[in-house]
Amino acid sequence: MDSEYSISQSALETDKGAYLLDPKIMAHIIYCLDVEDRAQLIEVLEPLHPADIADALEQMNAYDRRRLVTLYDQEFAGDILTELDESIREEIMALLRPEVLAEAVRDLESDDVVDLLEDLETPQQDVILGALDDTDRAAVEQSLSYPEYSAGRLMQRELVVAPEIWTVGEAIDFLRGAERLPEQFYHVTLVDSRMHPVGNVTLGRLMSNKRDIQLRDLVEDVFQIIPAMQDEAEVAYAFNQYHLISAPVVDEDGRVVGVITIDDAMTVLDNEHEEDILRLAGVGESKLSASVMDTTWQRFPWLAVNLVTAILASLVIAQFEATIEGMVALAVLMPIIASMGGNAGTQSLTVAVRSMATKDLTSSNVLRVLRREVIVGLVNGVIFAALTAVIGLLWFGSFQLGYVIALAMVINLVTAGLAGTGIPVLLDKAGIDPALASGAFVTTVTDVIGFFAFLGLAAVLLF
Binders in 197-226 for a copy of itself, by CB under 8 A: 198-199, 202-204, 206-208, 216, 219-225
Please, is 45 exposed, middle or buried when counting C-beta atoms within 10 Å of its C-beta (0-12, 13-18, 19+)? buried
H or E element, residue 247 = strand 246-250
107 binds a copy of itself (CB under 8 A): no
Residue 31 to residue 41: CA distance in whole angstroms = 9
Which amino acid belongs to residue 187? H
Does residue 461 touch a copy of itself according to CB under 8 A?
no
Element (H, E) at 5: none
Closer of 126 and 314 to a copy of itself (Cβ): 314
Helix then strand then coil, in percent of the chain rounded to 5, is 65, 5, 25
Could you tell me the smallest distance in angstroms from the CB atom of residue 402 to a copy of itself? 14
Report how far apart, in Å, the C-alpha atoms of 76 and of each of 160, 355, 453 are: 32, 43, 63
> What residues between 119 and 148 interact with a copy of itself by CB under 8 A?
none
Stretch that binds a copy of itself, among 37-45, 101-109, 135-143, 229-237 (CB under 8 A): 229-237
Find the part of the chain contacting a copy of itself (CB under 8 A) among 36-44, 65-73, 116-124, 265-273.
Answer: 265-273
Any contact of residue 269 with a copy of itself (CB under 8 A)? yes
Measure CA 98 to chain center.
32
393 binds a copy of itself (CB under 8 A): no
Instruction: Evaluate whether 75 touches 50 at the Cβ level (below 8 Å).
Output: no
Shortest spacing between CB 276 and a copy of itself, in angstroms: 7
DSSP assignment of 349-364, as one string?
Answer: HHHHHHHHHTT-S-TT
Contact 125, 234 (CB under 8 A): no
Which of 351, 393, 426, 432 is the binder for a copy of itself (CB under 8 A)?
Answer: 351
Sheet strands side by side (includes 161-163): 161-163, 187-191, 197-202
# chain residues binding a copy of itself, by CB under 8 A: 148
Contact (CB, 8 A) for 152 and 195 = no
Query: Contact between 338 and a copy of itself (CB under 8 A)?
Result: yes
Rounded CA-CA distance 275/232 in Å is 14
Map residue 235 onto helix, strand or coil.
helix
Shortest spacing between CB 139 and a copy of itself, in angstroms: 20
Q: Segment 276-335, which members bind a copy of itself (CB under 8 A)?
A: 276-278, 280-283, 286-289, 292, 295-296, 299-300, 302-304, 306-307, 309-311, 313-314, 317-318, 321, 324-325, 328-329, 331-335
- Residue numbers 11-40 binding a copy of itself by CB under 8 A: 11-16, 18-21, 23, 26
> Which positions from 44 through 103 interact with a copy of itself, judged by CB under 8 A?
49, 51-52, 55, 58-61
Site for a copy of itself in 411-430 (CB under 8 A): none
CB-wise, 102 or 182, nearer to a copy of itself?
Answer: 182
